[in-house]
């Protein structure tokens, strides 16, 4: 009986330990929340394969440049809405060395290709089929846009819906000043 009691206690302790460990090692990032509070925080890792062609995009390799990181998917209505605005902004800011990268998450590759063709997207797109980067960045919905300064830090604003031209320009200017 004593053995059974000890075993039950051990099981409960083990379950509690597992729960604590899960919470402690949770991938959920506080990046989005911190940026929304006006803080400047280090950008999480972003290493993903390009949607078309070989190679991998690594955010860390773009240190020294402002990077606009846009999370999207072909099935997302807001993404369709902002596609033209983002595309135009990427062309306008290219001469200033600003890099745009679209992270296609939880999406069909072919559907994403059709979306890119339809909207004539001119900046680099990377694929994150499982959505493994969402937690690290604190993305809770699509589309969402982040601005990374030359030092690899995420600066406000963090755009939580279809981005407007004004929001994109404000984000880039803030990142360039940072």
Partner 1 sequence: MRTLVLALAALALAAPALASEEHPTQGELERELVCPTCHTTLDESDSPVARQMKAYIRRRISEGATKSQIEQELVDDFSPSVLGVPRKRGFDLLAWALPLGGIGVAGLALAYGAWRWSRSREDGETPSQPPSAAAPPLDSELDRRVDEELARFDA
* Closer to partner 1 by Cβ: residue 50 or 108: 108
Residue 25 or 95 with smaller CB distance to partner 1: 25
Residues forming the site for partner 1 (CB under 8 A): 3, 7, 15, 18-19, 21-22, 25-26, 73-77, 106-109, 111, 129-132
CB of 19 to partner 1, least distance (A): 6
The least distance separating partner 1 from the CB of residue 80, rounded to whole angstroms, comes to 11
Residue 82 or 107 having the CB closest to partner 1: 107
- What is the 3-class SS of the chain, one letter each residue? CHHHHHHHHHHHHHHHHHHHHHHHCCCCCCHHHHHHCCCCEECCCCEEEECCCCCEEEHHHHCCCCEEEEEECCCCHHHHHHHHHHHHHHHHHHCCCCEEEEEEECCCHHHHHHHHHHCCCCCEEEEECCCCCHHHHCCCCCCEEEEECCCCEEEEEEECCCCCHHHHHHHHHHHHHC
Q: Which is nearer to partner 1, 132 or 151 (CB)?
A: 132
Nearer to partner 1 among residue 107 and residue 149 (C-beta): 107
CA nearest neighbour of 125 among 70, 62, 165, 44:
70
- Nearest approach in angstroms of CB 109 to partner 1 is 5
Q: How far is the CB of 139 from partner 1 (least distance, A)?
A: 11
Minimum Å gap between C-beta 25 and partner 1 is 7
């Amino acid at each position: 009986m004593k053995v059974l009691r000890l075993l039950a206690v051990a099981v409960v302790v083990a379950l509690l330990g597992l729960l604590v460990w899960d919470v402690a090692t949770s991938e959920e990032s506080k990046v989005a929340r911190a940026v929304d509070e006006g803080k400047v925080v280090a950008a999480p890792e972003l290493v993903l394969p390009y949607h078309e062609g070989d190679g991998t995009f690594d955010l860390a390799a773009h240190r020294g440049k402002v990077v606009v990181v846009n999370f999207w998917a072909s099935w997302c209505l807001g993404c369709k809405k902002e596609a033209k605005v983002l595309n135009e902004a990427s062309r306008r800011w290219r001469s200033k060395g600003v890099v745009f990268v679209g992270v296609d998450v939880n999406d069909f590759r072919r559907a994403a290709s059709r979306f890119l063709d339809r909207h004539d997207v001119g900046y680099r797109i990377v694929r994150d089929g499982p959505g493994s980067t969402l937690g690290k960045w604190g993305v809770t919905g699509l589309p969402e846009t982040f601005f990374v300064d030359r030092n690899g830090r995420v600066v406000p604003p963090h755009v939580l819906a279809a981005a407007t031209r004004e929001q994109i320009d404000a984000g880039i200017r803030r990142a360039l000043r940072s």
